[in-house]
Amino acid sequence: MSGLYLRLSVDDSVEPAAIPSRNKARSAILQALTVATPRSPDAGRMAEISLAFVSNAEITQLNAHYRQQEKPTNCLSFPQDPLPPVFRRDLLGDIVIAPAVVLQEAAEQGKTLLNHYRHLLIHSTLHLLGYDHVADHEAQIMEQLETRLLAEMGVADPYLNQIHE
């Protein structure tokens, strides 16, 4: 994969200090794109991802509509249906993140905000590449992959000492 076209949007209610820089977000997404899957862009192609930082109210609406859970969540991924590439870009999908939830989780879990964002961006990008964690065996594969990709970035295992829902 040769690069990433990242469309970034930030809701007016989101404090800029509560989100990672464009370069930090890009770095975590690119780390996840090193994984070879049928949905991964071919060598020499660009991936396109939309990344939106939204309010708790907006992510609650999305979570209720798409997951039937009327509560805020940290992130949601919306994979693009496979289409022929446009302008030499593979359209992978959208990632939506609620910074207020991420801030709270990082504090509760004793993680740095940046490392928690790295984890969520890798996690969300893997969803765009076709990974899931509905079944236990899928969750184990995805968690091991996330842990490896994060370790390559110098980030500790995000699943240590964490209770799974």
Residues annotated within the binding site for Zn(2+) are 123, 127, 133
Which positions make up the binding site? 123, 127, 133
**DSSP output for 106-165:** HHHHT--HHHHHHHHHHHHHHHHTT---SSHHHHHHHHHHHHHHHHHTT---TTTT----
Positive or negative: CA dihedral 48, 53, 56, 57? negative
As a whole number of angstroms, the distance between CA 79 and CA 26 comes to 17
